[in-house]
């Protein structure tokens, strides 16, 4: 079967950021045959034991069905927009050949998140499409793109529940995540047809800010490629069995040392 594959790179400052911000979108993307790469900049050592946090992230990436999980070793709570951070993100964008980059919002309340967002914009100057995601703590977020995640909302909640080391954080509760996505669904008006009829199916939506969007002549995201792909290998990433290990997942370590990049974790 020929499908137009979108290569998605999701960038997050800490383990769990990607899942909170765009977990629904990437779960769906893998199910629909697209390629998802995940890149976490720190090991989250300021809020837990880093080994546990990496393991939780790896487990999540397996459930999502990501092609690769890249884990960098920038210091948690010390992210700053500098050449080191920009170069690392740029290298990952180049390596993955991402068509769509997802990152934090420039107006996020956490300084690590803001630094990651600003660094991604600069690192992604040659990328065609960059969107920012929100988390339940975001305050000045201006939603511009809405994506229906109704059919994977339960799976998104179960993804977040994998992060047991963070279970005491209130913004990780299912009510906060469900509440935000239900609010965005209402706001998006995606549950109304052109005839103004209400439809029941769009109940949960993830929202994004546009940093950059490029559309081709067929109004699709620019730079995507149509390839022959057997749809089956993406087996069943929505399975409830979190132990299922999708063989394509590769976990890669990156260090700030420019000479030792991406050694095997």
Question: Counting Cβ atoms within 10 Å, is residue 201 exposed (0-12), middle (13-18) or buried (19+)?
Answer: exposed
CA-CA distance, 220 to 101, in Å (whole number)? 15
Show Cβ contacts of residue 174 under 8 Å, excluding neighbours closer than 6 positions.
157, 160, 161
Judged by CB under 5 A, how many residues of this single chain contact Zn ion?
3
Taking the least distance from each CB to Zn ion, the nearer of 13 and 103 is 13
Taking the least distance from each CB to Zn ion, the nearer of 13 and 28 is 13
Token pair, residue 109, equals: 């309340």
Is 108 near Zn ion (CB under 5 A)?
no
Is 166 near Zn ion (CB under 5 A)?
no
CA-CA distance, 103 to 116, in Å (whole number)? 7
Is 72 near Zn ion (CB under 5 A)?
no
Stretch of 9-17, 63-71, 141-149, 254-262 contacting Zn ion, by CB under 5 A: 9-17
Round the CA-based radius of gyration of the chain to a whole number and report it. Answer: 17
Taking the least distance from each CB to Zn ion, the nearer of 12 and 33 is 12
Taking the least distance from each CB to Zn ion, the nearer of 7 and 89 is 89
Taking the least distance from each CB to Zn ion, the nearer of 14 and 156 is 14
Token pair, residue 152, equals: 């994977």
Stretch of 14-22, 48-56, 91-99, 213-221 contacting Zn ion, by CB under 5 A: 14-22
Which residue in the shown chain puts its C-beta closest to Zn ion? Answer: 14
Is 88 near Zn ion (CB under 5 A)?
no
CA-CA distance, 34 to 44, in Å (whole number)? 28
CA-CA distance, 145 to 149, in Å (whole number)? 13
Residues 178-237 close enough to bind Zn ion by CB under 5 A: none
Is 132 near Zn ion (CB under 5 A)?
no
CA-CA distance, 161 to 102, in Å (whole number)? 22
Residues 15-44 close enough to bind Zn ion by CB under 5 A: 17
Q: Smallest distance from the beta carbon of 19 to Zn ion, in angstroms? A: 11
3-state secondary structure of 108: coil
Any bridge partners for residue 225, and if so which?
5
Is 14 near Zn ion (CB under 5 A)?
yes
Q: Which one of 7, 8, 9, 13 is in contact with Zn ion (CB under 5 A)? A: 13
| Residues contributing to the site for Zn ion (CB under 5 A) | 13-14, 17
């Amino acid at each position: 079967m020929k499908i137009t594959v979108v290569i998605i790179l999701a960038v997050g400052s800490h383990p769990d950021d990607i899942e909170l911000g765009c977990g629904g979108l990437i779960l769906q993307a893998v199910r629909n045959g697209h390629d998802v790469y995940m890149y976490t900049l720190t090991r989250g050592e300021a809020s837990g034991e880093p080994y546990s946090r990496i393991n939780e992230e790896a487990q999540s990436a397996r459930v999502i069905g990501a092609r690769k999980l890249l884990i960098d070793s920038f210091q948690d709570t010390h992210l700053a927009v500098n050449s080191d951070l920009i170069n690392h993100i740029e290298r990952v964008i180049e390596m993955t050949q991402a068509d769509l980059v997802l990152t934090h919002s420039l107006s996020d309340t956490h300084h690590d998140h803001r630094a990651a967002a600003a660094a991604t914009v600069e690192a992604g100057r040659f990328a065609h499409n960059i969107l920012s995601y929100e988390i339940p703590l975001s305050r000045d977020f201006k939603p511009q793109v809405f994506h229906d995640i109704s059919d994977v909302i339960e799976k998104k909640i179960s993804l977040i529940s994998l992060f047991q080391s963070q279970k005491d954080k209130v913004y990780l509760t299912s009510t906060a995540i469900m509440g935000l996505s239900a609010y965005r669904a209402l706001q998006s008006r995606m549950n109304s047809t052109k005839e103004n009829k209400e439809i029941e199916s769009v109940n949960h939506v993830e929202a994004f800010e546009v940093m950059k969007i490029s559309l081709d002549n067929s109004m699709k995201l620019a730079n995507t490629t149509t390839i022959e792909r057997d749809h089956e290998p993406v087996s069943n990433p929505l399975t409830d069995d979190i132990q299922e290990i999708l063989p394509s997942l590769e976990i890669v370590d990156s260090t700030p040392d420019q000479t030792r990049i991406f050694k095997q974790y």
